[in-house]
Amino acid sequence: MRAMTTLKGLVLRERSFGENDKFLDILTDGAGLIEVAAKGVKKNNSKNASVAQALSYAEFCLSESGGRFYLNSAEPIRTFFTVSSDIEKFALASYFCEMTLYVATQERSNSEVLRLILNSLHFLCAGTRPNLLLKATFEMRLLSEIGLVPNLIGCCECLRYTDVQMLFDLKGGRLYCENCFGNRDLHGVEMLPEKLLHYIRFLALTDMQKLFNLRADRDYLPHLSNITESYAEIQLGRHFPTLDFYKSLQNGNSL
Ligand SMILES: [Zn+2]
């Protein structure tokens, strides 16, 4: 006996199997990350063909049997396929999906993670935010949402809130003022001028509703993006191939 269920979700990855079928990894609103068997969706006349693709956000009608999900039908809500027309945006979208898949597999996902990736893809398609800012926003906020938010309140020793520059210990996820840092080892430590510290606090801590309203100075974006990327890589202990692909496209004109 199969139970029916309806879930909204974003397809993060599709994998072909057999001649006509696919497995879909879907991040859902109510059930976290699920794997769905989508039979016959590679046939030209399949009614589910367009929805059963990566970057498709839809309401999926599924049947469940023995802990496995099978696709019955789907109602598209929003697709983000237009990023494919721009290789750099496509690379970033792939990176967002790969990171999300990784953290969701670790069972650390929540509904805010789904909201974060949907918003990030929305602005990537809209083209109204610099790519590097979207990358930094996604990286910093994803880490915050899964409980890896750094302690950004102030210097971890004297609680000083701000300084001309502070030092960000990426592994420890904490700040030092120059005075308290003294002559410790600078390995894995980033210098944060006041503006960058403000941006990182904003990305990690502000309400999701306001998250994409940050108007960051473009001159700071490469540095900001490097810091959020290093923080994510160190905290997750993982390097993502899709990030290498994105970086291989840069060639110095990354804005
Ligand atoms: Zn201090």
Query: Is residue 108 domain-shared with residue 207, that is, in the same domain?
Result: yes
Query: Is residue 17 domain-shared with residue 46, that is, in the same domain?
Result: yes
Q: How many residues does the chain have?
A: 255
Structure tokens at 96: 């967002």
* CATH code (residue 203): 1.20.1440.120
pLDDT below 70 — which residues of the chain?
1, 108-109, 251-255
pLDDT tens-place string over residues 32-80: 999 999 999 999 889 999 999 999 999 999 999 988 999 999 999 999 9
For ligand 1, the distance from its centroid to the CA atom of residue 152, given in whole angstroms, is 12
Query: Is residue 59 domain-shared with residue 177, that is, in the same domain?
Result: no
Q: pLDDT at position 212, please?
A: 97
For ligand 1, the distance from its centroid to the CA atom of residue 234, given in whole angstroms, is 23
Cα–Cα distance for residue pair 236/103, rounded to 1 Å? 8
Which of 79, 103, 120 lies at the terminal end of a domain, its last residue? Answer: 79
Query: Is residue 22 domain-shared with residue 147, that is, in the same domain?
Result: no
The alpha carbons of the chain give a radius of gyration, in whole angstroms, of 20
- Domain for residue 253, yes or no? no
Query: Is residue 147 domain-shared with residue 201, that is, in the same domain?
Result: yes
For ligand 1, the distance from its centroid to the CA atom of residue 216, given in whole angstroms, is 26
Count the neighbouring beta carbons within 10 Å of the beta carbon of residue 3.
8
Instruction: Kindly list the distances between the CA atom of residue 140 and the CA atoms of 52, 55, 241, 250, in Å, as whole numbers in the listed order.
Output: 29, 21, 19, 21
For ligand 1, the distance from its centroid to the CA atom of residue 167, given in whole angstroms, is 10
For ligand 1, the distance from its centroid to the CA atom of residue 181, given in whole angstroms, is 7
Which of 58, 79, 100 lies at the terminal end of a domain, its last residue? Answer: 79
Cα–Cα distance for residue pair 226/157, rounded to 1 Å? 25
Q: pLDDT at position 254, please?
A: 46
CB of 224 closer than 8 Å to CB of 136:
yes
For ligand 1, the distance from its centroid to the CA atom of residue 148, given in whole angstroms, is 22
Cα–Cα distance for residue pair 255/241, rounded to 1 Å? 21
pLDDT tens-place string over residues 67-102: 899 999 999 999 999 999 999 999 999 999 999 999
Query: Is residue 100 domain-shared with residue 220, that is, in the same domain?
Result: yes
For ligand 1, the distance from its centroid to the CA atom of residue 157, given in whole angstroms, is 5
For ligand 1, the distance from its centroid to the CA atom of residue 175, given in whole angstroms, is 8
Q: pLDDT at position 255, please?
A: 47
- Look up residue 35 and give its amino acid: E
Write a three-state SS string for 117-170.
HHHHHHHHHHCCCCHHHHHHHHHHHHHHHCCCCCEEEEECCCCCCCCCEEEEEC
Q: pLDDT at position 252, please?
A: 52
Query: Is residue 87 domain-shared with residue 75, that is, in the same domain?
Result: no
Helix 87-105 / helix 221-236 crossing angle, nearest 10 deg:
30
- Domain for residue 254, yes or no? no
For ligand 1, the distance from its centroid to the CA atom of residue 166, given in whole angstroms, is 9
Q: Find tokens 């990566």 and name the residue.
A: 54
CB of 108 closer than 8 Å to CB of 147:
yes
Query: Is residue 35 domain-shared with residue 107, that is, in the same domain?
Result: no
- Domain for residue 146, yes or no? yes
Query: Is residue 123 domain-shared with residue 69, that is, in the same domain?
Result: no
Which of 79, 108, 126 lies at the terminal end of a domain, its last residue? Answer: 79
Parent domain of 233: 83-248
φ and ψ of 44, to 5 deg: -60, -35
Q: pLDDT at position 109, please?
A: 66
Domain count, the chain: 2
- Domain for residue 255, yes or no? no
Q: pLDDT at position 187, please?
A: 94
Beta bridge partners of 36: 24, 69
For ligand 1, the distance from its centroid to the CA atom of residue 31, given in whole angstroms, is 43
Helix 131-145 / helix 87-105 crossing angle, nearest 10 deg:
0
Instruction: Kindly list the distances between the CA atom of residue 210 and the CA atoms of 37, 187, 215, in Å, as whole numbers in the listed order.
Output: 37, 33, 11
For ligand 1, the distance from its centroid to the CA atom of residue 179, given in whole angstroms, is 6
